[in-house]
Every structure is written in structure tokens, then in C-alpha cells.
Amino acid sequence: MTTKRTGALLAATTAVLLAAVPLRAAADPVGHAPAAPSWSACVGAGLDPRQECATLEVPLDHDDPRGERIDLVISRIPAADPATRRGTLLLVPGGPGEPGLSDPTTAARSLPPEVLDAYDLVSFDPRGVAKSSPISCDLAGEDLSLVKLRSWPGADGEIAENAATAQRLADACAAHGGPLLDEISTANEARDIDHIRRALGEARISLWGVSYGTYAGAVYAQLFPERTDRVVLDSVDDPDPTRVARGWLANYAVGVEDAFPSFARWAADPTNPQHLADAPEQVRPLFLDLAARLDREPVPWPGANPPQLSGNVLRQTLLDALYAPDRYPALAELMRAALDGTALPAAKTAPDEVVQNSAAVIAATICNDVAWPTDIDHYARSVATSRERHPLTAGMPVNVTACAFWNGGPAEPPVEITSRGPSNVLLVQNLRDPATPHSGALRMREALGDRARMITVDATGHGSYARTGNACGDRHVTTFLLTGHRPDQDTFCDG
């Protein structure tokens, strides 16, 4: 795969905000227009009856547009009021490695009626994911555990086992991933998005990206600035082109520290029947002491992978719980059972085939987006420093991954997010986000310059618009989607 030529695209920018009318594509300058989707009912439980699905064919290698094709499955819920429809709002999946076909159904349950009237809600399974030509590295069952995939160090900080696991994962992907493995990257996802836009017949497309979807959305807006309508980036990734996913992982250490005090206050609330302590300041040492005890003496946990509650499993459970306050009770229940020596709650695990697919796409994306250090001593030093500064995450965010052993490395340089392009981007970011911390979102804001405005929401958790219940933040995003109006300057929304 050759290096992509993006200079001409970056030069073709416009600062004109678009009128609130439907926009249709004229003849596309990039080859022949793809076939329009052939919509039919989606297959799956719990989907909105209005949701439709279709399969597009996109190039396996975008440098060879007439070569081998792969399937890209898309979904939509049409605008509820055709008379006021203004275009398509593409819901860019998170992850990487998350499917998106059900996202229109999920969004239709939470978005304001005015937005549902104005936009077709469209999403997709990204290349390699779920129904879109899925891939697998055929990992061994024990390697499907999150404490293996997330590379948690040993109890003493040792990473030799992590390095062996990372080598094994990279080797499995090289052996079983197939040709698509090398063509999965954020830049190629942006090119797939533009294929979707063309197939839909839209001159320009609006985007709502959440989490990793913010980086994919920003890359699309950088590569195809003249094709963007209104861009919402929600729970924003740090776009540092020298690190990309290395930076996202490292930011977990900061994000967990940002979000933990909210859990501590909840866990010390005397009106909470699941409270764990008498004061918020007692919760942190309680958690750290319990994790250290479980490092020494794991507790059997039938049905889990691995089948025991170790200190690292507890740390991973904390990270997952901090994504949303409604997950706090499950974490508290697990901690209470471990503290009291009572039966642990039933373990919840995703089907192996889902984890296989997700693991392969995550590895391919993060390893193909940017080069990673290959010196294992570099990771050992980083882990030791992080364990001291951020004990809640115990060094995991900077530990070695399969990318240290990835075959071939990136096919093209990372896309640098810049201030060149139309001023049509709105960032919305919770103040206390465990996965995409506020500090990383500020770096995206700085990179975009006057192209963007940023709404900071005084809330805890991952995902902001139509999720936290913050009326101020939701109002700003809804107004932008409907009118194109943003605040004149960055804005803070109180809780």
C-alpha cells in the first residue's frame, strides 16, 4: 500500500457554514459514484422497526480502487419528518473494534425529536468488524481475557509475561488475520466513510463521533474537509500524531484518577445501601489494599476469564465501572463480596467470537496507525514510573502491546489534525472521563484551532451528549446540529 496523497484535499477547504437545507451530490470527482444502497430490514433483536440495513462494496486497498472489494454493512433510520430533513448524521462507532449497526436504534431512543426529524441517522460496522468482512486472529481462549488484552503488569510490576503475550498475539494476527488486517486503519475508515457519503448521494455529511469515533471523525474532517457539514466530537481522543493510540492508552492513567473521586463520594454516601466506607477519602486505600490482597491471594470466580478474581481483574473492573455512574453498584457488590469473603456475583463475559473479532480489529487499528517502540526496557521503565504516579491503573496504560512486535508497521504516516478547514466542529467533553480525559480533549481543541468550539460538561463518565442529562451541554449540541450555531467561545456547563 503506497502513501496517501492528501495535500490537494487539505488545500480544498471552505470556511462557509452550510445552510440548513438538504445537500445532494453532483458528479463526484473521485472516480465513478458507488451504487446506491439497497435497503432492507435489519436482522437482530431489539432494533427499532424503522431501522434498515444495506451492504456496500468498498476497496480492500484504497490505493487500488478497482481491485479486490470487501463488504461494508451500513444501517439507517430515515428522518422522521421528510419536509424538514436537512441531511445525514453519520454515527461514527467507538472502539476501535466496536460495531455500529445498532447505533441508529440506540440514538433514536435518546436524541431530541427535532434532531430525529432533521436527520437520517446512519451508522456502520467498520471494516473488519462484525458484519463488515470480519477478521479474527484466532487467539487462544486464555488470551481473550481483558487482563491479557489490556496488558496488566504482574503484581510486582514485572512485564516479561506481558511481552510474551504481546509477541504471541502479534504472531497469531500475522498467521490468521488475512490481507484485510494490513488495510485496517483510521485513515482507511475515513476513506470508507467518504464511500458511504458518496453512496448515499450526499454532497456533505454531518458526523457524531464518540470516543475513538472522535479521532476517526477528525481524520475524516482533515482528509475530506469540503465534504463535512456539521461535526460533533463527543468524549474526545488526544490526536497527538506522534503517539495516536499510545497516547489514548496512556491517558487511562489520568482519566481513572480524574473519575475515581466521583465513585469514592458515591461509595461513602451513608444513604447508599451499597456504601463501602464512612468517608470518601477512605475508599481509595480500601480499593488499593483489596487489589494488593487479591494480587497475593486471588479468589476463585467460576465463569470468568480467567476463572479468578485477582488484583488486576479488580483494577480492570474499576476501569470499566468508571465509564458510567450506573455501573458503580456492580463494582461495589464485587468489592463487598471480596472484602467479606462471600460468594462473588455471577461473572459476565462476552461471547468468544465477539472478543476475537474486537481484539483483532483493535490490534490492527492501533498498530497500523502509528509506529510503536520495540525496546521492551522502554516499557518496563514507563510501567515503573506510572505505577508510582497512578497506582489505580498499576502501569497498564503504558505497558507493552502486540504493536511492539507487529509485522511491517504502519503503511502510511498518521494523519495530523490541523486548523486548516471549515469552522464547523463542536467538541463536547465531560470534565471527569476515565477513557478520554479532559486534558486530551484540550489537545484536540488546540489542534483544530478556530475550526472548533468546545463545550466542557461538569459530569463524570464516558459519553456526554444525550447521555449525562446535562441540559446545558445537550442544548448546545442540539442547537448546533439544527442551526449550525455554536457559542462564540469555549463554554463550561455546570452540573
Query: Is the per-residue pLDDT at 29 higher than 70?
Result: no
**Residue 397 burial (C-beta neighbours within 10 Å; 0-12, 13-18, 19+):** buried
Tell me which DSSP letter residue 451 carries.
G
Residue range 461-490: mean pLDDT, rounded: 98
Q: What is the pLDDT of residue 33?
A: 72
In sequence order, which residues have a C-beta less than 8 Å from that of residue 366 and are 6 or more positions away? Answer: 96, 244, 245, 246, 401, 403
Rounded distance between C-alpha atoms, residue 435 and residue 252, angstroms: 5
Query: Is the per-residue pLDDT at 363 higher than 90?
Result: yes
Mean pLDDT computed over every residue of the chain: 93
Query: Is the per-residue pLDDT at 156 higher than 50?
Result: yes
Rounded distance between C-alpha atoms, residue 312 and residue 200, angstroms: 46
Q: Where are the beta strands (DSSP E) in 328-423?
A: none
Percent of the chain scoring above 70 in pLDDT:
94
Q: Where are the beta strands (DSSP E) in 383-434?
A: 425-432
The answer regarding whether domain 27-134+181-244+413-493 maps to CATH 3.40.50.1820 reads: yes
Residue range 474-482: mean pLDDT, rounded: 98
Rounded distance between C-alpha atoms, residue 9 and residue 27, angstroms: 17
Query: Is the per-residue pLDDT at 203 higher than 70?
Result: yes
pTM of the predicted structure, to 2 decimals: 0.93
Query: Is the per-residue pLDDT at 466 higher than 70?
Result: yes
Bridge partners of residue 454, in order along the sequence: 427
For the stretch 110-131, pLDDT in tens is 999 999 999 999 999 999 999 9
Q: What is the pLDDT of residue 83?
A: 96
Query: Is the per-residue pLDDT at 208 higher than 80?
Result: yes
Contact 98, 235 (CB under 8 A): no
Query: Is the per-residue pLDDT at 8 higher than 70?
Result: no
| Count of helices and strands (H, E) across the chain | 15, 12
Contact 256, 319 (CB under 8 A): yes
Task: Label residue 408 by pLDDT band (50, 70, 90).
Answer: confident
For the stretch 81-117, pLDDT in tens is 999 999 999 999 999 999 999 999 999 999 999 999 9
Q: What is the pLDDT of residue 34?
A: 85
CA angle 127, 369, 143 (to 5 degrees): 70
For the stretch 291-307, pLDDT in tens is 999 999 999 999 999 99
Q: CA of 94: how far to CAs of 101, 186, 346, 351, in Å?
A: 12, 11, 27, 19
Rounded distance between C-alpha atoms, residue 62 and residue 60, angstroms: 6
